[in-house]
Amino acid sequence: MSRSERGVPDWQIRLVPNRSLSRERSGQLALTLQIVRPGEQLATAPLVLTVAEAERLHAALCYALNAEPAPDDAPECRKSIQYSGGRQRF
């Protein structure tokens, strides 16, 4: 039985379009997210991260994306570097 068949809404948390990461006065980083269910935006809220938390999230995402090819508009850290001898590093 799917979640929607049980009456549980298919909630999603996702990035707010056209809103970028911002730095707070405290030095923390804030990423605005939205909570939605099909056809309805319910709320927006900032995900506030310390620099250390942002570094851990960045590392986890890089690890998870390692097997995926980097799109043309990917940040430099996602693009492979070709070293002499044919080795590739990311």
Task: Count CA within 13 A, CB hemisphere, residue 55.
Answer: 3
CB 21, CB 30: distance < 8 Å? yes
Q: Report residue 84's pLDDT band, with 50, 70 and 90 as the boundaries.
A: low
pLDDT at position 70: 84
Q: Report residue 54's pLDDT band, with 50, 70 and 90 as the boundaries.
A: very high
How would you label 52-88 residue by residue, b for 16+ Cβ within 10 Å and e otherwise? eebeeeeeeeeeeeeeeeeeeeeeeebeeeeeeeeee
3-46 confidence digits (pLDDT tens) = 556 666 688 999 998 888 899 999 999 999 999 988 788 999 99
CB 14, CB 38: distance < 8 Å? no
Cβ neighbours of 35 (radius 10 Å): 14
- For the whole model, what pTM was predicted? 0.65
pLDDT mean across residues, the chain: 82
